[in-house]
Structure 1
């Protein structure tokens, strides 16, 4: 046992202890998020009595406040008077307050306030937490550090979904989920307060709160990356939105042409999440030998292969489940290659004093991608079988556009370095 522990510790990257503490805190807070992720819509429609449309509007409102949170989060994180630590504390406090409103929800106004606050809290969180990781790591460590923080998020979310489902099955106490989620944010607040010191340089000039945005939005290299980053996040959103509908409605696994059962789809996506978690660190370590742009190009190629395999799932005459497993497996590896490389590239591009703002733009790409993906994918899955199946082939071809942008981005970065 001791020998295994020594080998494990030797295999793990040698990061600042505060990065490990932050990873543990993120895992705990994501367990709370997992408690509510899949069960909130069920509770508010079936138990509280709100309509599905109203619940959709309320949950969607969190994306709007999330954009504001990301803008404020990036500016606060870079401000010497605020800094990363206070921004993370504010994020945890706002998120915990959101759970108070959601726990007490019996009507739409309270539900709306809870979701607006939750979106704001999550928006504040992302730029600050990734800036802390960047501050505490070297260039060579960042790929693996960002991989581990994403791993903490993934494992926590997965545990939360499982534990939340178990709690509902045993007690039916949906409101307890929001209480536990709120407690997880308070625990994260305590972890940051007691264990994470401020990492921003408090001696730097305290410029205007939003001046950094003017610099970032004039950075041609960052804006080129933002284009391809929106494409990547659109792909991620399609896995969660369009693909379940495709597997349900357009994969003819039975004589009546109906698709996979709910339990089969659940198992498929569980496998996708588990594989992404298991491969996150090994892939990040392997990709360290390449440039960030080359690593993202590898991810893009894998996305293209994954989309082709998903398209084949609906057109093959047999072995539909095998094709689906292969497609989701390739996409899990593509995701593991994308996440740390994208964050590390943004940190490489950012001036040290503007890491929060640059990472905020990276996070805003997710907001845009998660708007485009479900919208376009939902439209395609609402059409005929041929259009739904063609959608995945078009998605595979769109990877060529992403690779072209990445090749141009690599050329621009090399020119800057040579200059």
Structure 2
């Protein structure tokens, strides 16, 4: 006798086999990124069009978060691997600092306060990501690691999409931008509460006698890691354009939009919801489908899609083709690029890292985000402030830089291939 079909049971069987703590952490991240989505699309638009700062000033302020983020990540690597704080303590501190930064931005009517808010937010995020990835890696065996990281990214994308959609409708009803930043700060505090209640410390005790300098030195002598970091800086610089340069560009520099200069905030939110929806739908299926594919070819595919997305945005600025179709296609390319990139990049670092140096390895990987969010907004803001010199061609310049990143990926593939025999001889070094 054939058993009846149970859709709920089938769905549960399809989901990755992960520990309860990983699911709880993802639930907390969902709440956090709903708050983050409230301001993701609108930060640069608000500070330029409402408060009157120039694009260069906003780019510098957003980039200042990269400065504090760079310093914070050096401390994060040691804190995450330390007995005193560990993964959980670092994550709690990150939530509080990021909340303070969000509250500061809610009242940032002057340039110094705008910089202070971004410095705090950059510092909080610099602690958040290495700690989160270390916990996820600690709790997940190698064969399920990409799916575990994909789950965290799914929570991020779902939260960002919901947050951006809600914020767009709220602003369409003449809501306050400042209130969005307050809600973002509250989301960080709620996330901290989830961590305090549901997540235990995952750091494993070890007896290694390496001091701080020796630990960082060992990580910085790993040629495979350094090559990956060099390639990864390009990916993170591209990602920074989504929340800094691209929304302002769509609002003020696009022909044939629904306003005199481009698209309204509500319309732009639909583009980002489309972008987030694609990532939500594709993240787990694509990650599972590519589970047996080596990391570097997946990163190559992501790089090609990033370049395609920026090329389409460049075409938008030329004004020769209906921009709506091009923008939807460009956001689709970028969404798939991120789906490919995030799990493979983090899982690769998790494999390269010795257990006792996991915090430092993820801190170094996270430094790429600090650099990307330092350089990206400044370059983008400067380009939009000088439309005659660069302007629309900024997106074409980003396409050309993908060739440099591809050279680093080719070198990384060669290094990983040559190190495979050594890894087989000492499997514990990457587990």
Q: Same fold (TM over 0.5)?
A: yes
1:216 is matched with: 219
Structure 2 residues not aligned, in runs of 5+: 423-431
Which of 72, 75, 82 is 2:75 aligned to? 72
1:371 to 358, 370, 374: 374
> Could you report, residue by residue, the CA deviation over 1:258-281 in whole angstroms, capped at 9, with x for unpaired residues?
655655444333322221222122
CA gap of 1:31–1:387, structure 2 versus 1, over 3 A, is: closer
Secondary structure of 2:143's partner?
coil
Paired position in structure 2 for 1:358: 361
Matches of residues 5-404 of structure 1 in structure 2 within 5 Å?
Answer: 5-37=8-40, 59-99=62-102, 113-166=116-169, 172=175, 176-205=179-208, 207-244=210-247, 246-247=249-250, 252-253=255-256, 259=262, 263-315=266-318, 317-383=320-386, 387-404=390-407
What is the deviation of 1:138? 1.6
Q: Identify unmatched segments of 5+ residues in structure 1.
A: none
Greater shift, 152-161 or 372-381, is seen at 372-381
Decide which moves more: 143-152 or 392-401: 392-401
Residue 172 (structure 1) shift:
4.4
- Say which structure, 1 or 2, has more relative contact order (CA 8 Å, 6+ apart): 2
Larger displacement relative to structure 2 (202-211 or 397-406): 202-211
Q: 1:12: how far off?
A: 1.2
**What is the CA-CA distance between 1:136 and the residue it aligns to?**
0.9
Structure 1 residues 167, 386: closer, same or farther in 2, change over 3 A?
closer
Deviations 1:125-175 (A, max 9, x none): 111111001111122211111111012112223323333455566684665
After superposition, give the CA deviation of every residue in 1:106-137 in whole Å (9 maximum; x if it has no partner).
Answer: 87776655443332222111111110011111
Q: Which moved more, 1:338-347 or 1:167-176?
A: 167-176
Aligned residue-pair number: 417
